[in-house]
Amino acid sequence: MPLYDTCMVSVVTSGISSSYIENREPEIVISPNPVRDKLMIRDRADAVIRRVVVYTLDGREVMNVRYDNMGVNVSALRSGMYIIKAYIDDDRTAYRRFYKE
């Protein structure tokens, strides 16, 4: 388990605390983590991911893109920890934390 998945941060983003995000079984898999340029996302149930929103830890939305299975270009983001929210085709949303190098 990467170091970034085990740290606890008590920040609330869109009504979900990051400790809630990391204390649940992840519904999506992201790689690489940490990431430099392109973040790949996969749903554990192989459902289609339609949209991805990226938030800073203080809750600011910094990216909102349609996901096309080719990854999310995060190269323009500053280095640091972020929360990703994935909108999945079967009416689920999933959250993960990632570190941008």
20-46: pLDDT as tens digits: 455 555 589 999 999 999 999 999 888
Of the ranges 2-16, 20-34, 45-59, the best mean pLDDT one:
45-59
CB atoms within 10 A of CB 50: 12
Backbone angles phi, psi at 30, to 5 degrees: -120, 145
User: For position 60, which CATH number holds?
Assistant: 2.60.40.3080
CB atoms within 10 A of CB 90: 8
**Measured distance between the N- and C-terminal CA atoms of the chain, rounded to whole angstroms:** 18
CA distance 9 to 22: 10
* Whether pTM exceeds 0.85: no
Q: How many domains does the chain have?
A: 1
- Could you tell me the residue range of the domain that residue 36 belongs to? 3-100
Q: Which amino acid is at 22?
A: E
58-101 confidence digits (pLDDT tens): 999 999 999 988 999 999 999 999 999 999 987 889 999 999 99
Radius of gyration of the chain (CA): 12
